[in-house]
Structure 1
Amino acid sequence: MAEMLSPITRQVSKEKWEDRTTFLDINLQDVEDCLIYDRRGVSSPFKSLYQHSKTVIIFVRNFLCYSCKDYVDDLSKVPRGALEEAGIRLVVIGQSAPQHIEPFCMLTGYSYEMYVDPQRSIYLKLGMKREETFTDSALPSPHVKSGLFMGQIKSIWRAMTSPTFDFQGDLHQQGGAIIVGPGSQVHFCHFDMNRLDHMPITWLLQLAGVQQTLDFSDKRKIIHV
């Protein structure tokens, strides 16, 4: 059982998710009072997300990133009942301005909680990577359907057609995923090495204690395990 103080969390590289595991210390006290903002621009402390429940928190690169868009597309298909049964909150955090939350939710069909960290305070204090690192042995993301060329074209088009033309965050910032709470307990942490290095959603939810999982391969269906 993980200890409440100074927890050791697993960071899993996608080269071999199950076989290659390193350990990473993160301190939630460094970020618990950082402000996050909802789609209306209302602020709340980061710790409010996990004080009273176990929470899966996904940090995306930016809202124009094609791979993040594909990933959140699949997050939107997670059954609400599966999360409720496990007592899990699902949260996505971006690093743009609050006004970009609503269009991104409409684009992806994502209906769970979403916030932004416009100053990247949480990203920086937790030590998430900036710039990308690629390795020959990296496994392809099971959630990214767009190719590099078409994905970037679509991202540029979305930036150009946005009511407020901007890049909706630092283009070099990488994201990650953590499972935290209740309280300051950290169960798991993964920091992305590049735009394709997302934690597989099925495995992430299983680590959080969800008993249902989604098959994102060919046909989208719920598998009871």
Structure 2
Amino acid sequence: MDAAALTPVTQQISGRASLTAVPTGPDRGQPLAAAVAELPVVDAAGVRVPFGELFRERRAVVLFVRHFLCYVSKEYVEDLAKVPRSVLEEANITLIVIGQSSYHHIEPFCKLTGYSYEIYVDPEREIYKRLGMKRGEEIASSGKSPHIKSNILSGSIRSLWRAVTGPLFDFQGDPAQQGGTLILGPGNNIHFIHRDRNRLDHKPINSVLQLVGIQHIDFTNRSSVIHV
């Protein structure tokens, strides 16, 4: 394996115009290292799948989240669950969430949030590391998220309650690990990457979907899934 393949992706990539259609020729997206594409993610049944297989055939919006007990991740994914399937199918886009817990936590997390699209875990956080996802909280103003309904006190209390009342008392992932958002594929092309600096630094869902040609979705008028 050559040294270049082992180098983490560290460049923040953006650009609206090139993402409304799959770019070709010299405007093609930055390639994802083959060594990273070969790393496994795990589905809810415990089956290991190469990361690159998730977006080999068509473009995907891939959202790496913090631990599954994180109230911010929970509320963000609750809104992801409200994206209409018909809209994704019309745009030929796959929506994928990746966490960093044991795969045993996937099904309960989906039931909690109502999320029904693709979801996997990277328990060893190897892909997080290789993509340069931050570990630790950077003190930086991230503005108010349109997806987070709880404040830090109420959200943290609910997270703790879920931890102590769950069948396994763990954080369902590393609490210090931050997530990020990518637009990938078809093939090993990175079209956009954002690495969260802290728990509230995620990209608003609409701003990401607009990059792949999906028009604004009104989350405020859709009923929210409420769980304590």
- Paired residue for 2:60? 55
> Separation in 1 of the partners of 2:31 and 2:160?
34
Q: Greater share of strand residues, 1 or 2?
A: 1
Q: Which amino acid aligns with 2:58?
A: S
The CA deviation at 1:125 is 0.8
Contact 1:50 1:183 (8 Å CA) reproduced = yes
1:207 aligns with 2:211: yes
> Separation in 2 of the partners of 1:185 and 1:29?
10
Contact 2:184 2:190 (8 Å CA) reproduced = yes
> Separation in 1 of the partners of 2:121 and 2:113?
16
Give the 5 Å matches for 1:83-98.
83-98=88-103
| Greater Cα shift, 89-98 or 28-37 | 28-37
Q: Among 173, 184, 194, which residue is 2:198 paired with?
A: 194
Stretches of structure 2 lacking an aligned partner (at least 5 in a row): 1-8, 16-29, 224-228
Contact 2:103 2:120 (8 Å CA) reproduced = yes
Q: Which amino acid aligns with 1:96?
A: S
- Paired residue for 1:22? none
Between the two proteins, what is the percent identity of the paired residues? 54
Give the CA RMSD over aligned residues.
2.0
Q: Which amino acid aligns with 2:212?
A: A
Q: Which portions of structure 1, spanning 4 or more consecutive aligned residues, are displaced by more than 4 angstroms?
A: none
Q: What is the aligned length? A: 201
Give the 5 Å matches for 1:69-84.
69-84=74-89
Q: Which deviations, in whole Å up to 9, do the C-alpha atoms of 1:111-132 show, x marking residues without a partner?
A: 0010000000000011100001
Matched position secondary structure for 1:215: coil
The CA deviation at 1:78 is 0.1
Give the 5 Å matches for 1:80-159.
80-136=85-141, 138-159=142-163
Contact 2:31 2:189 (8 Å CA) reproduced = no
TM-score, length basis structure 1:
0.84
The CA deviation at 1:134 is 2.3
Contact 2:61 2:182 (8 Å CA) reproduced = yes
Q: Among 36, 46, 50, which residue is 1:31 paired with?
A: 36
Contact 1:53 1:89 (8 Å CA) reproduced = yes
TM-score, length basis structure 2:
0.83
The CA deviation at 1:213 is 2.5
> Separation in 1 of the partners of 2:14 and 2:138?
15
> Separation in 2 of the partners of 1:98 and 1:195?
22
Stretches of structure 1 lacking an aligned partner (at least 5 in a row): 1-5, 13-24
Matched position secondary structure for 1:85: helix
1:220 aligns with 2:225: no
Contact 2:32 2:189 (8 Å CA) reproduced = no
Q: Which deviations, in whole Å up to 9, do the C-alpha atoms of 1:122-160 show, x marking residues without a partner?
A: 000111000011224x31111111110111111111111
The CA deviation at 1:9 is 5.0
The CA deviation at 1:184 is 1.2
